[in-house]
Amino acid sequence: MPKSPTQSRAQRLRRSLRRSLGAGGGGRALGVLAAVAVATAGIVLSTGTQAAPIPPNPVTGVTPPPDGTTATPDASGLSFQQGPLSGHATLAQSAILVGSPQQVLVDIDIKATGEGATTRVPVAMTLVLDHSGSMSGQKIEQARRSVLQALERMHDDDWFGFVVYDHAAQTLFPLQPVGPNRMRIRQVVQSVGAGGGTQIPQGLEQGFQTLQAAPVGFARRIVLVSDGIDGSGVGPTGIRSTVARYGQSGVTVAALGIGTDYDEAFLTAVADAGNGAYAFLATGAELEAFLAQEMHAASALVAERVAFDLMLPPNTRFVRAHGATADHLPGGVRLQAGNMASGDQRHVVVELESTAVAAGPLGGVGVGLAFNDRQANRMTQLQAGALQIAGVTDSAVAEASRNPAAFAAAKAVLIEVAQTEAMDRWRQGDTAGAVAMARSNAAALDGLMQYAPASPVLREQQEAAEGDAEAFEAMPAGSAAGRSYGLGSNAARRARTTGL
């Protein structure tokens, strides 16, 4: 059996931030402004076939928690625990200046413990492999070898499907049990050649349809592998809506780019919408390790269709989310975080914009959690409470309302996004502008050290930004080395910001 994947740098960052501040770090900053502290919380637990939006006005006070469920307000935010999931939702800064629109950041951490889970979840995996002309030669040979090696790791009760695509998609092996079909699957994989165009959406859709044969209770996964540019004309925006539909049915979609000529934006959009992993592989030989990681994560599944509902107070609007896909609700937004395996951690940062027309309470951001609990075999909802925002007239008071750990972690994610923009400048030929932006981002990360002086991973992020600046100056973006560096840097950055 494969070992559990190593912890992501994003996970280590979150823990080191909190260690450096101590248990009461958040409370010290918020204590200077009692009126701004989180003060309301309620618990509403229900089960049913699907999650409903969390009401916009949370219940005041605390109801005795049913079924071991807890949702606790404290000076640093809302802590919650429900079944295999536990986490924390915090405002990076809970007071904003009166007058003009102000940024409000919600920092959410969630962990799947899986305590008590003793049964391995059977896996239904469909591999969707690019076998267009650009995959000919060593790439397709390495891919075939990697798939065969991954097949040996699969249990007899797992199910496997195999779809290939070039100018059209073809199911070479319909989803079936691995045990009685190992020899046949090997023969099919070994027969794959390369030639033709690249129609990724057709391959994904056929892979999704193949998964419809999966038995009830199986963890369902699509792994997309490509080395080229999609020729369908759908684009990143179009493919997001398609893959989001797969995610809503409980399917995780991971995307792998092989070599340096694939469409990075397209594959990243696939992984983002599918709440799955994304990786840059220099060669096809690295595919086996990724497939092993995907199978391990699928077999340790404890929570499906994990989603947060944020209900917004007056004069507040949703801007964007990092680490989850967003769907608008009446009065709020639903954040889809996908499926979680035992040991998984996710980090979600939500950007809001609020306007305080007068000093005093603005209202609360209601936080709710919904997911399918695999162990309990039911859809569960938890209303954790509300994160209160207040308007103030003194900038010093607003700054004093910052939660140090949440502020540093949320701002670090936004800086990572800005660093992606620096990468884009470099690729567009603006080397001087890219270098200046990367060094500015490194300086901003250094400034966050005051909130987490003992965080080695925050320092690592800063060093990565400085390394980007040096790489921008040292090599042309269009060279083989430059393309490889850019793809690897962006893939690592996504992992840091999401935990995927």
Give the tokens for residue 54: 């969390």
Which residues make Cβ contacts (< 8 Å) with residue 93, sequence separation at least 6? 104, 105, 398, 399, 401, 402, 403, 407
| pTM (global) more than 0.85 | no
Q: What is the mean pLDDT of residues 267-285?
A: 89
Sign of CA dihedral 354, 358, 361, 363: negative
Q: Quick one: pLDDT at residue 391?
A: 95
- Model confidence at 149, pLDDT cuts 50, 70, 90, reads confident
- Model confidence at 115, pLDDT cuts 50, 70, 90, reads low
Which residues make Cβ contacts (< 8 Å) with residue 417, sequence separation at least 6? 322, 497
Between CA 299 and CA 324, with CA 374 as vertex, the angle to 5 degrees is 80
Q: Quick one: pLDDT at residue 24?
A: 37
Q: Quick one: pLDDT at residue 114?
A: 65
Q: How many CB atoms lie within 10 A of CB 174?
A: 15
The CA–CA distances, whole Å, from 489 to 7, 61, 284, 469 equal: 18, 46, 19, 12
- Model confidence at 76, pLDDT cuts 50, 70, 90, reads low
Burial (0-12, 13-18, 19+ Cβ within 10 Å), 438: buried
Residue with the larger pLDDT of the pair 92 and 58: 92
Which of these, 371, 464, 479, lies nearest to 415 by C-alpha position? 464
Q: What is the pLDDT of residues 170-211, one digit of tens each?
A: 999 999 999 999 999 999 999 988 777 788 999 999 999 999
